[in-house]
Amino acid sequence: MSMIKDLHVTRRAVLKGAGALVVTISVPVSAARTPARAKGGAGVKPPLKPDELDSFVKIAEDGRVTAYFGKMDMGQGVDVAIGQIVAEELDVPFERVTVVMGDTAHTVDQGGGSGSTGIQRGGVPLRNAAAEARRILLELAAIRLKTPARYLTVADGVIAVTGEAARKVSYSELIGGHYFNVKLVWNKKMGNRLVSTGKAKPKKPEQYKVVGTSAPRNDIAGKVFGTSDFITDITVPGMLHGRTVRPPKAGAAPVGVDESSIKHIPGARVVHEGDFLGVVATKEWDAVKAAETLKVAWSKVAPPFPDQKDLYDHIRRTPTLKAKLKAKDTGDVDRAFKGAAKIIEAEYEWPFQSHASMGPACAIVEAKDGEATVWTGSQKPHSTAEGVAKILKLKKDQVRGIWVMGPGSYGRNDAGDGAMDAAILSKAVGRPVRIQGMRHEGTGWDPKAPASIHKVRGGFDAEGNVIAYHFHSKAFDRQNVRSRESHPSHTLAGQLTGYALKPRKIFRTPNESYRFPNKRMGWEIIPPLLERASPLRTSHFRDPLGPQVHFASESFIDEMALAVGADPVEFRLKYIKKRIDARVVKAVAEKVGWKPRVGPANKPGGTGTVTGRGIAYAQRNGAVLAIVAEVEVDRKTGRVWPRKFTIAHECGLIVNPDGLRRCIEGNIVMATSRMLWEEVMFDNDRVTSVDWETYPILESMEAPEEIDIVLIDRPNIAPKGAGEPSTRPVAGAIANAFFDATGVRLRRAPYTPERVKAALG
Amino acid sequence: MAERISLNVNGVSHDLEVDPDMPLLYALRNDLGLSNPHFGCGLAQCGACTVHMNGEAIRSCVTPVSAAKGARITTLAGLGTPEKPHPMQQALIDEQAPQCGYCMNGWIMTAAAFLEKNRRPSDGQIRKALAGLKCRCGTHMGIIRAVKRAAKAMG
Ligand code: FES
Ligand code: FES
């Protein structure tokens, strides 16, 4: 296992600029420009201030460019796109740019991986800083070449007098290894909303040469040859291995711990703090055995969970904790329903789902001498470091967070919990501690996507026009624990050591542009089943609530179309208000050669395999998606196989088309898995989905045969996120295709073979 | 308790003092520093820990280290290198298939063993050979394309 030496410098050394990370010594660009900075001999290390150009872009002595990115790539190539954007604005070859991300000592907090905003928001300060750097370099070149900047041309990081190629100076000659010492205008916001702007105007899309090309990822070789490290591969000198011990019944606390029960395991030790219980050992296998062997007496607690079969009834009958009944409200919905010639109504149900990352959480924390370093796979390492600081009672700047690629993350998985576990263990034993969960923790104890029910009503006039629409969700909180682990309250270890739950109490409504004259969308949430350290605590999971609400809303659009004898595509186009949305729907319909139809292709009843086709559409933060699913349903076995998806995808300017295609494929496959397979099971005492047998996900046999992607590039529209949006309409499209194939409307997800068989009766 | 066990991994033999019941995965990762096989489930349900034992793809998370005595173990690093990539590794690069990549060891090792036996697999045979492997990022489409590409390259 490789030791990450250069990562393992102490936080203090980094802050003093004396550690291994310091590459070169900064000397003033011009005496006037850099009065103070050169004095202390500070290295070329980003100052970490959002109003400094040097926080985002560095040009080294050899002319290589480093971009310091305060968001994250979780394996979809966001960093490649950021490198393209920086290369574009600076006029250097893409290969010359290195993107540094995920280290709190090197990047300002741009919010980490969050809401598919890596390019949409995260790219903006980088683009502005790179453009500003180019402007400054031109200014410096003008002095050096004694020629006004307007007579200069930039190519490949070399500035030359236009038409006189011999009179030139390179970026590295101008500034290599030095600070720019140039201020940016910063909007005083941190995280996702951080914007910093220079005087330079970024390029216009028609000038783009690097943006819009399919630059390849640079992390793939390391992943297929096994030469790059994952978080699980990091070792730190003196490190012990830790494991947590979770209660057999949710909510139970350890009341008696028999330390002698692990006496025979070399070096094994118990850490018991508050209600947090864990073990450490020198060897990993010994830690695993110790956690399994340790004898613990647990407190008696009332069973916290209802019967699984009553989950949706529980949601229905539980008094509301918070509601926003008219989150969106146009016209007079109540009156319109009263006057309607026809009303239809339906209710849809969606279960708890687990993030279930490919590997359970892993983290290493070294807490010593009033400082700490945390190595984490969390997509929000700045937040992780902040949370670790709080649980260790340190100041934020006393903890350094270093991200290392972990087993995929699509929102708030268990990584943040793991970091807190490791922090408690490290502090207790005074050594660096590496923790890795077991599978039952990764699935059974990670934060869950909330279960929900969605009630939808549609009212029509005598001519069959929709005159009233009401979409209402009742559900568990969208963020019972926050999507960032920046406070112990949002983690298991925090809750077990005395930090009370701080729920966000929020849900969401569908995102579309149907123009119904009287339209209301709202929600209400109910209290969690267990307040403290619940294995069913809810948080963000890829496209939070997108799959569930659009499963309901887009299924119901088809139900309304049928009620008035309309074709699903034609019906959508009749009501979609935004022109671009209509264009996207038309694009997908055209691509599949959609044949207008009213009602399902097949009638209920009968055996054998049937096929069907369904459409769904949605928006997400400016992105617009329309997807057609073609499914095969084996009525005997209940197997639903989406043979083919065709998607039209619009997200503004496309930075990297191939990267975008692969990102969309991943979204669609994962969303298919959630729609067909995924349901967290529980009994009255515990979550019983604890591995891949009890929480199955899609496998190769069930993967589609084809995913056909129509990209709609709009170069003049700023790029929107793409990391999640295409997740959103998949469930609805499958549901509508299933109805087309079978004539049966199934309103409860997931469409597992058993459920399908039961529904087809 | 601890026992002396000698392992032959990627053509090199190593002597270890280990608990014979410990899964091979931990011996490879922690005692030999070969971190290619990953812990995903420890239950033979995902494939992340796959290595070859005498040419067969096996799950090292449930294989006691004692069972590997005298066997020929190959890990991802022994399968191919950046200088001499295995066709499956090259195909995944060409297809730009992995996302987080945590699962890739399992897909590569399983596909490589499969392609040794079947050089001209059908789509259905590929899917069946890869059944049981997990990829949470949902890169199945790219992986299946890569296996087809690798099969072609291997002729
Ligand atoms: S870790 Fe061995 S199969 Fe999952
Ligand atoms: S690439 Fe992330 S789990 Fe497969």
* pLDDT at A752 exceeding the cut of 70: yes
Residue among B26, B41, B92 whose CB faces A284 most closely? B26
**CA nearest to B31, candidates B16, B19, B10, B51:** B16
Query: Looking at the domain assignment, is residue B82 inside a domain?
Result: no
**Could you say which ligand is closest to the alpha carbon of residue A698?**
2
Is residue A132 domain-shared with residue A269, that is, in the same domain?
A: no
**Nearest ligand by distance to the CA of B135:** 2
- Which positions ≥6 away from A90 have C-beta within 8 Å? A57, A65, A97, A130, A131, A133, A134, A157, A171
A194 vs A518, higher pLDDT: A518
Question: Residue B136's closest CA among B88, B93, B96, B102?
Answer: B102
My answer on whether A724 and A611 are in the same domain is yes
B58 and B110 part of one domain:
no
Rounded distance between C-alpha atoms, residue B135 and residue A670, angstroms: 9
The domain spanning residue A149 has which CATH number?
Answer: 3.30.365.10
Q: Is residue B12 part of a domain?
A: yes
Strand pairing report for A466-476 and A519-526: parallel
Domain contains B33:
yes
Q: How many domains does chain B have?
A: 2
Least confident of A57-61, A119-123, A617-621, B134-138: A119-123
**Exposure of A27 in the CB half-sphere (CA atoms within 13 A):** 7
Instruction: List Cβ neighbours of A180 (8 Å cut-off, separation of 6 or more).
Output: A29, A53, A54, A57, A133, A136
Express as a percent the part of chain A with pLDDT over 90. Answer: 80
Number of domains in chain A: 3
Instruction: Give the pLDDT mean for A139-151.
Output: 94
Residues 45-74 of B with CB under 8 A from A: 45-46, 48
Structure tokens at A116: 């598919």
Domain CATH number, residue B47 = 3.10.20.30
| Coil, helix or strand at residue A466 | strand
Query: Could you read off the pLDDT of A540-592 as tens digits, one per residue?
Result: 999 999 999 999 999 999 999 999 999 999 999 999 999 999 999 999 999 99
What is the arithmetic mean of pLDDT over A429-450?
97
Residue A252 lies in a domain: yes
CA dist A472 and A327 (Å) reads 10
Q: Write the pLDDT tens digit of every residue in A455-468.
A: 999 999 999 999 99
To the nearest whole Å, the CA of B127 is away from the closest chain A CA by 5
* Residue B109 belongs to some domain of the structure: yes
> For chain A, what percentages of helix, strand and coil (3-state, to nearest 5) are there?
30, 25, 45
Three-class SS string for A54-108?
HHCEEECCCCCEEEEECCCCCCCCHHHHHHHHHHHHHCCCHHHEEEEECECCCCC
- Domain identity same for B67 and B93: no
Does A221 sit within 8 Å of B29, measured CB to CB? no
CA pair distance A268, A279, nearest whole angstrom: 7
Burial class (CB in 10 A: 0-12, 13-18, 19+), A430: exposed
With contact defined as beta carbons under 8 Å apart, do A445 and A535 qualify?
Answer: yes
Residues B148 and B122 in one domain: yes
Nearest to B40 among A2, A359, A697 (CB): A359
Matching residue, tokens 């291994």: A20
* Domain extent for A441: 238-301+356-445
A748: exposed, middle or buried (Cβ count in 10 Å: 0-12, 13-18, 19+): middle
Structure-model confidence comparison of residues A123 and A350, the more confident one: A350
Looking at the fold, whether B13 and B69 belong to one and the same domain comes out as yes
- Residue B10: which of B31, B30, B28 has the closest Cα? B28
- Average pLDDT score over chain A: 91
Q: For residue A243, is it within any domain?
A: yes
Rounded to the nearest whole angstrom, what is the distance from the C-alpha of residue B102 to the centroid of ligand 1?
Answer: 12
3-state helix, strand, coil in chain B (%, to 5): 40, 15, 45
Contact in structure between A727 and A671 (CB atoms under 8 Å): yes
What pLDDT is recorded for position B21? 95
Strand segments, DSSP code E, in A438-572 are: 448-449, 452-460, 466-476, 519-526
Residue A611 belongs to some domain of the structure: yes
The reported pLDDT for the residue numbered A71 is: 83
- pTM attached to this predicted model: 0.93
SS3 category, A583: helix
Q: Is the pLDDT of residue A39 over 60?
A: no
CA distances from B123 to A222, A294, B129, B130, B144 (A): 27, 48, 10, 11, 8
Answer yes or no: is B46 within a domain.
yes
If asked whether residues B66 and B127 sit together in one domain, one would say: no
* Residue whose C-alpha is closest to residue A736's, from A583, A553, A582, A575: A553
Which of B137, B139, B143, B144 should we substitute to test contact with A (largest number of A Cβ atoms within 10 Å)? B137
Pair (B7, B73) in one structural domain: yes
> What is residue A11's predicted lDDT score, i.e. its pLDDT?
36
Q: What is the sign, positive or negative, of the torsion defined by CA atoms of A419, A420, A423, A428?
A: negative
Residue A543: predicted pLDDT: 94
Which structure tokens are listed for A120?
A: 């949409």
Query: With bands split at pLDDT 50, 70 and 90, how would you rate the model's confidence at A212?
Result: confident
Facing residue for A662 by CB, picked from B36, B89, B142: B142
Using pLDDT thresholds of 50, 70 and 90, give the confidence band for residue A44: low
A589 CB burial (10 A radius; 0-12, 13-18, 19+): buried
| A403-to-A408, A438, A731 alpha-carbon distances in Å | 13, 21, 33
Residue type, A443: T
- Amino acid found at B78: G
How many Cβ pairs within 8 Å bridge chains A and B? Answer: 178
- Type of residue numbered A681: M
* Owning domain of residue B144: 87-154
My answer on whether A281 and A170 are in the same domain is no
Report the relative pairing of strands A623-634 and A609-620 from DSSP bridges.
antiparallel
Q: Is B143 on the interface with A (CB under 8 A)?
A: yes
A720 within domain boundaries: yes
Q: Is the same domain home to B62 and B101?
A: no
Q: Is A714:A469 a contact under the CB 8 Å cutoff? A: no
For A667-676, the pLDDT digits (tens) are 999 999 999 9
A140 shares its domain with A254: no
Claim to verify: residue B61 and residue B105 sit in the same structural domain: no
Residue B70 lies inside a defined structural domain of this protein: yes
Closest residue in A to B23 (Cα–Cα): A285
Q: Does residue B120 lie within any of the structural domains?
A: yes
Q: Percent of chain A scored above 70 by pLDDT?
A: 94
Supply the pLDDT for residue A20: 28
Q: Which of A697, A3, A659 is nearest to A356 (CA)?
A: A697
Q: How far apart are CA A41 and CA A63, in angstroms?
A: 21
Average pLDDT for residues A48-66, to the nearest whole number?
92
pLDDT at A27 over 50: no
Does ipTM surpass 0.90 in this model? Answer: yes
**Could you tell me if B23 and B61 lie in one domain?**
yes
Tell me which ligand sits closest to the C-alpha of residue B105. 2
Extract the tokens encoding A695: 């929480």
Q: Kindly report the CATH number assigned to the domain that includes residue B143.
A: 1.10.150.120
Searching chain B, which residue's CA lies closest to the CA of residue A217? B96
Long-range contacts of A22-26 (CB under 8 A, 24+ apart): A23/A60, A23/A177, A24/A60, A24/A61, A24/A177, A25/A177, A26/A177, A26/A178, A26/A179
**The pLDDT of residue A42 is above 80:** no
pLDDT value, residue A6 = 38
Phi and psi (nearest 5°) for B79? -80, -45
Last residue of a domain, one of A393, A413, A445: A445
Does A289 lie in the same domain as A430? Answer: yes
Q: Cis omega before residue A750 (within 30°)?
A: yes
For residue A13, the model assigns a pLDDT of 38
Domain final residue, candidates B77, B96, B126: B77
Domain shared by B144 and B111, yes or no? yes
Q: Do A188 and A283 belong to one domain?
A: no
Same domain, B93 and B73: no
At A73 the pLDDT is 80
Interior/surface letters A231-246, b for 16+ CB within 10 angstroms, e for the rest:
bbbbbbeebbbbbbbb
CA distance B122 to B132: 18
Does residue A686 contact residue A252 with C-beta atoms inside 8 Å? no
pLDDT tens, N- to C-terminus, chain B (155 residues) = 789 999 999 999 999 999 999 999 999 999 999 999 999 999 999 999 999 999 999 999 999 999 999 999 999 999 999 999 999 999 999 999 999 999 999 999 999 999 999 999 999 999 999 999 999 999 999 999 999 999 999 98
- CA distances to A512, A752, A758 from A755, rounded to whole Å, are 29, 5, 5
Which amino acid type is present at position A222?
G
Query: Among the three residues A445, A475, A493, which one is the final residue of a domain in this structure?
Result: A445
Mean pLDDT of all residues belonging to chain B? 96
Residue A733 lies in a domain: yes
Q: Give the pLDDT mean for A707-735.
A: 93
My answer on whether A121 and A267 are in the same domain is no
Phi, psi of A196 (to 5 degrees): -125, 140
Q: Say if residue A375 is in the same domain as residue A272.
A: yes
Q: Is residue A38 part of a domain?
A: yes
In a domain, A694, yes or no: yes
Tokens representing B94 are 């060409």
Which of A424, A445, A466 is the last residue before a domain boundary?
Answer: A445
Which residue in B19, B92, B133 is closest to A285 by CB distance?
B19
Strands B72-74 and B3-9: parallel
pLDDT at A648 over 60: yes
Nearest to A495 by CA among A539, A460, A547: A539
Put simply, the answer to whether B102 touches A691 (Cβ < 8 Å) is no
Give the model confidence (pLDDT) of A269-320 as tens digits.
999 999 999 999 999 999 999 999 999 999 999 999 999 999 999 999 999 9
Same domain, A401 and A285: yes
Residues A275, A189, single domain; the answer is: no
Residues A242 and A106 in one domain: no
The span from the CA of A755 to the CA of A675, in Å, is 12
B57 falls within a domain: yes
Q: How far is the CA of A649 from the centre of ligand 1 (A)?
A: 36
CA closest to A222 among chain B residues: B82
Residue A47 pLDDT grade (very low, low, confident, very high; cuts 50, 70, 90): confident
Residue A121 falls within a domain, yes or no? yes
Confidence category of residue A113, pLDDT binned at 50, 70, 90: confident
B53 with B101, same domain: the answer is no
* CA proximity to A387, closest of A425, A421, A420: A420
